[in-house]
Structure 1
Amino acid sequence: MLEKRTPIEGSIHKRTPQRPASVPTDIYISTKSKRSAIVKRVRRLMLKENHKSVVIHGLGAMVIRATSMALAAQEALENQVTLKPTTETISLIDDIIPDDMDKDLETQKRHNSIIHITLEAKDGLAELQRKTGQIIHHPSRNRRSRRWQ
Structure 2
Amino acid sequence: MDLAVGQVNEPAEEEPRLLQRRAPVRSTAENEVYVARNQSLAVLFKRIRRLFDREGHREVMIHGMGASITKAIYVAQDVLMHYGERLSLETHHGTVDVVDDVMGEYESTVEQRRVSSLTLHLRLTESEAGVAGVASRTRTPSLINLISKPD
Q: Do the two structures share a fold, i.e. TM-score over 0.5?
A: yes
1:42 to 2:52 alignment: no
Q: CA deviation at 1:116?
A: 0.9
Which segments of 5 or more consecutive residues in structure 2 lack a partner in the other structure?
1-12, 138-151
Paired position in structure 1 for 2:148: none
In 2 relative to 1, CA 127–114 (structure 1 residues): closer, same or farther, beyond 3 Å? Answer: closer
Runs of 4 or more, structure 1, over 4 Å off, are 129-132
In 2 relative to 1, CA 71–116 (structure 1 residues): closer, same or farther, beyond 3 Å? Answer: same
Specify which structure has the bigger relative contact order, considering alpha-carbon pairs within 8 angstroms and separated by 6 or more residues. Answer: 1
Paired position in structure 1 for 2:99: 93
Query: TM-score with structure 2 length normalisation?
Result: 0.70
Give CA-to-partner distance per residue, 1:9-63, whole Å, 9 cap, x none. 3314232222234222111111222222222222221123221100111111000
1:57 to 2:60 alignment: no
Give CA-to-partner distance per residue, 1:93-141, whole Å, 9 cap, x none. 1222223x2xx32221111111111101111293524779xxxxxxxxx
Query: TM-score with structure 1 length normalisation?
Result: 0.71
Contact 1:89 1:114 in 2 (8 A): yes
| Structure 1 letter corresponding to 2:54 | K
Aligned with 1:109 (options 107, 112, 117)? 112
Q: CA deviation at 1:64?
A: 0.8
RMSD: 2.4
| Structure 2 letter corresponding to 1:25 | N
Contact 2:22 2:100 in 1 (8 A): no
Contact 2:63 2:117 in 1 (8 A): yes
Structure 1 stretch 106-115 or stretch 39-48: which is displaced more? 39-48
